[in-house]
Amino acid sequence: MMRFARLSSFACLLAVLPVAAAATEPGSLDVRAQLTARKATVLSSEIAGKILELPVREGEAFKEGQEIVAIDCAAYRARLAQMDAQVNRATRKLEAQRLLDQRGAIGKADLDFAEIDLDAAQAEQRLAALDVSRCSITAPFSGRVAERKVQRYQYVTLGQPIIDILNDRDLELELLAPSRWLSWLKPGAAFVVRIDELGREFPAIVTRIGPRIDPVSQAVKIYARMDGDFPELAPGMSGLARLSPRAEAAVRP
């Protein structure tokens, strides 16, 4: 029974739909397919603090490198200033110890301890600077906001999810095909998919095949790209992919 728990929702769709559906083209085989964003992630807080800015609202676009979250950094900047002072103090102490060592006024152990103190202060300074850099979260890629999980002025903890983002122009088509199709279905195969939400067919090309066959459903995941630029498509749309064993590989890369 535990093996059935591994079935994905996609596999369930495959189970309830006939593999060889009523096709308009003789010899074609149909399976359900879904569009997903190739770049999608949930950005979480790497520090604890109050959200000062969430400039991009749900559905709005942003550019790679743009600040999309700002966390109150006053305490972290104060900590960095403290560490800067500690490094300055340890540096001056080491310079004084080296001068005394040249005059033979101290032992080598005193000089070694002064160098260790400076190394420790510099390490603390780097950690404080890292925390300050985490006060600002920038977009790792261009895209749009799918969901804001917190609100402005809300206090967040370390690791708390803040914002769900995706690139809605870089899409990939996923489908589950019977493993027996592997005898003829290869990367480069061209096919069409009819998107339910739009009621239209779009061309697609198989890009890669999953490395694992599900032992319960005897299905393998197939990945494809849309063969063209279609701004009307969006992540989450689904439809019926129509493939044919006689289809020739797409000429275009």
Model confidence at 19: pLDDT above 50: no
**Confidence grade of residue 244 (pLDDT, cut at 50, 70, 90):** confident
Measured in Å, how far apart are the chain's first and last C-alpha atoms?
A: 43
Architecture of the 2-38+170-243 domain: Beta Barrel (2.40)
User: What pLDDT score does 249 carry?
Assistant: 44
Q: 78 is written with which tokens?
A: 């104060």
| Sheet hosting strand 49-53, strand order edge to edge | 136-138, 67-71, 49-53, 155-156
User: What pLDDT score does 32 carry?
Assistant: 95
**Confidence grade of residue 247 (pLDDT, cut at 50, 70, 90):** low
Interval 123-179: pLDDT, tens = 999 999 999 999 999 999 999 999 999 999 999 999 999 999 999 999 999 999 999
Residues 6+ apart with CB under 8 A from 161: 42, 43, 44, 149, 150
> Which amino acid, one-letter code, is at 34?
Q
The domain locations on the chain are 2-38+170-243, 40-72+135-166, 74-133
- Nearest partner of 167 among 232, 235, 65, 228, judged by Cα: 235
Lowest mean pLDDT among 18-22, 58-62, 70-74, 106-110: 18-22
pTM listed for this prediction: 0.76
> Which amino acid, one-letter code, is at 135?
C
Contact 72, 49 (CB under 8 A): yes
**Confidence grade of residue 245 (pLDDT, cut at 50, 70, 90):** confident
Model confidence at 224: pLDDT above 70: yes
For 141, phi and psi rounded to 5 degrees?
-160, 165
Rounded-to-integer distance, Cα 233 and Cα 231, Å: 5
User: What pLDDT score does 86 carry?
Assistant: 97
Interval 32-69: pLDDT, tens = 999 999 999 999 999 999 999 999 999 999 999 999 99
User: What pLDDT score does 251 carry?
Assistant: 39
CA dihedral of 172, 41, 164, 206, whole degrees rounded to 10: 0
Interval 97-127: pLDDT, tens = 999 988 888 888 989 999 999 999 999 999 9
**Confidence grade of residue 11 (pLDDT, cut at 50, 70, 90):** very low
User: What pLDDT score does 27 carry?
Assistant: 59
CA dihedral of 213, 215, 216, 219, whole degrees rounded to 10: 20
The fold of 74-133 is Helix Hairpins (1.10.287)
For 61, phi and psi rounded to 5 degrees?
-90, 160
Check if CATH label 1.10.3720.10 holds for domain 40-72+135-166. Answer: no
Mean pLDDT of 2-18: 40
One DSSP character per residue, 197-244 reads TTTEEEEEEEEEEEEEEETTTTEEEEEEEESS--TT--TT-EEEEEE-
CA dihedral of 19, 24, 27, 30, whole degrees rounded to 10: -20
**Confidence grade of residue 21 (pLDDT, cut at 50, 70, 90):** very low
Contact 197, 179 (CB under 8 A): no
| Count of Cβ atoms closer than 10 Å to residue 253 Cβ | 5
Interval 80-103: pLDDT, tens = 999 999 999 999 999 999 999 888
